[in-house]
Amino acid sequence: DPYSKDPPRHPILKVNSSKPFNAEPPPEILTESYITPNEIFFKRNHLPVPDINPDEFQLTVERPNGQNEKVPLKLSLNDLKTKFPRHEVIATLQCAGNRRSEMNAVKQVKGLDWGTAAISNARWAGVRLRDVLLQAGYTEEASKGLHVHFEGLDQDLTGTKYGASISFQRAMNEKNEVLLAYEMNGEPLPKDHGFPLRVIVPGVVGARNVKWLGRIQVCTEESPSHWQQNDYKGFNPSTDWDTVDFKSAPAIQELPVQSAITEPKPGQTVTPDSDGKVTVQGYAWSGDGREIVRVDVSFDGGKTWHVAELFGEKQKQGQSWAWKLWKLEATLPTEDKEVTIICKAVDSSYNVQPDTVAPIWNLRGVLNNAWHRVHISVNR
Ligand code: MTE
Ligand code: MO
């Protein structure tokens, strides 16, 4: 069993697939804390978790053309921890397939049936990818049109490894804070999250945040990996598996503005408090460091809207990598016994969420950021 070295997992997780392991926490527990505890942080593995001896681990960084090409830079975990400045960043990771189950409800898609919790927030620590690339001999000027490839140490039975890439410009621009992380919330990276080393690309889709990082390479083309070329791309709602041309669409990088209701839960019976108020909670996040500036909540199908209160650490402009949690206490506008709660977020570029899933439906079920709706019963 190639999965026999997989680590134990927290029983509270909702498992979408056990081999490879894919699981999300119950939404109402996810938003109990701004920083997601490692045990309940969503887990998305395409392959068995590799068993890596940290004392033998070496990161290989291929050199630029013409410079020591045959002698790659090799860095042990200790080299990374002692020879480069440590850098910390609080960043939210979201899978492109978060909320896929709502797309499935419109029309069948291919992929794991994620609910609203394929997203989590952590404090990551490690070294800047930029510093490692500079050490390997790359310069800023080299930047135009290049791509940084990340290869994982996880592999399938044929030896194919997980891989992805980001632009060299994203990697080199200090503002982007791209990390090679060895710590998650003050602990060594847990096995499921890439022990001993992973990439953290703040503001960018989970798929590029390569875990169990073994090798870095800079090339003129994007990563040839299946997950860069033939997956994690968006398409027109009428594109089907007979007509889809993966070459025609760009690989997903920065994610669009997103929000979801985590409490109450769908189908829950809610009793308003003595003032007739109900409490609604959730998360909101946007890609590429755009801050969440507002979350709106409606109880009447979008006719009237309340503004929710936002919680979370203030981050710098253009570097708002972490989500905001939000909360609203409100009086329901009608006496109805059945209510649909809707939420939608606005980011600092005034990007908004589409109101329904159908116009953004795609065959792979990625990028669902439609208004989130939760249907409840009210105990009057
Ligand atoms: N890296 C490797 N090596 N193997 C993987 O399967 N999955 C990717 C990414 N990095 C993956 C990987 C995907 S699709 C996502 S959403 C994130 O890791 C999930 O990170 P997490 O498991 O730490 O939440
Ligand atoms: Mo993902």
Predicted pLDDT of residue 69: 77
Ligand 1 pocket, mutate which of 39, 45, 160, 191 (most atoms under 8 A from CB): 45
Q: Which residues contact 315 (CB under 8 A, 6 or more apart)?
A: 90, 289, 291, 321, 322
The CB of 210 under 6 Å from ligand 1? The reply is yes
364 ligand 1 Cβ < 6 A? no
365 CA from centroid of ligand 2 (Å): 11
pLDDT digits (tens, 9 = 90+) for 185-241: 999 999 999 999 999 999 999 999 999 999 999 999 999 999 999 999 999 999 999
Q: CATH for 14-248, among 2.170.8.10, 3.90.420.10, 3.10.20.30, 3.40.80.10?
A: 3.90.420.10
Calpha distance 163→157 (Å, rounded) = 16
Decide if pLDDT at 67 tops 80.
no
Separation in Å, CA 330 to CA 255, 274, 309, 346, 373? 30, 12, 11, 20, 16
* 117-to-27, 120, 171 alpha-carbon distances in Å: 6, 7, 27
C-alpha 331, offset from chain centre: 34
Residue of 359, 45, 333 lying closest to 212 (CA atoms): 45
Share of the chain above pLDDT 70, in %: 99
Among 28, 13, 25, 24, which Cα is nearest to 325's? 28
* Averaged pLDDT, 307-319: 98
Give the pLDDT mean for 307-334.
97
Q: Could you tell me where the beta strands, DSSP code E, fall in 211-308?
A: 213-219, 258-263, 269-270, 277-285, 292-298, 306-307
Position 374 confidence tier, pLDDT thresholds 50, 70, 90: very high
pLDDT tops 70 at residue 143 = no
Q: Domain 258-378 maps to which CATH number in 3.20.20.80, 2.60.40.650, 3.40.630.10, 3.40.50.920?
A: 2.60.40.650
Q: What is the pLDDT of residue 144?
A: 74
Give CA–CA dist 17/45, Å, rounded: 9
Average pLDDT estimate for 272-291: 96
How many helices (H) and strands (E) are present in the chain, helices listed first?
6, 22
For tokens 């081999």, what's the residue? 19
CA distance 173 to 227: 24
User: Residue 216 has what pLDDT?
Assistant: 98
Please tell me the distance between residue 231's alpha carbon and the centre of ligand 1 in angstroms.
13
Nearest CA owner, ligand 1 atom 12: 210
On the CB side of 141, CA atoms within 13 Å amount to 1
Task: Determine phi and psi for 315, rounding to 5 degrees.
Answer: -115, 165
Whether 189 lines ligand 1, by a CB cut-off of 6 Å, is: no
% of the chain residues with pLDDT over 90: 95
Mean pLDDT of 326-355: 96
pLDDT at 76: 98
What integer is the mean pLDDT of 351-371? Answer: 98
Concatenate the DSSP letters of all residues of 192-236 into one string: GGTTT-EEE-TTB-GGGS-SSEEEEEEESS---SHHHHSSSB---
Q: Which residue(s) pair with 59 in the sheet? A: 75
Mean pLDDT of 321-338: 95
* Distance of alpha carbon 223 from alpha carbon 287, whole angstroms: 21
Q: Domain residue spans in the chain?
A: 14-248, 258-378
Split at pLDDT 50, 70, 90, the class of 303 is: very high
207: Cβ below 6 Å to ligand 1? Answer: yes
pLDDT grade, residue 70 (50/70/90)? confident
Q: Is the pLDDT of residue 171 over 80?
A: yes
The whole-number average pLDDT for the span 254-279 is 96
pLDDT at site 284:
99
Average pLDDT over every residue of 137-158: 92
What are 262-274's pLDDT values in tens digits?
999 999 999 999 8
Compute the average pLDDT of residues 292-315. Answer: 98
| Helix, strand, coil in percent for the chain, rounding step 5 | 15, 35, 50
End-to-end CA distance of the chain: 54
Tell me the pTM: 0.98
Asked which of 69-73, 166-170, 227-231, 254-258 is least confident by mean pLDDT, the reply is 69-73
ipTM above 0.95, yes or no: yes
Instruction: Tell me, using a 6 A CB cutoff, whether residue 44 lines ligand 1.
Output: yes
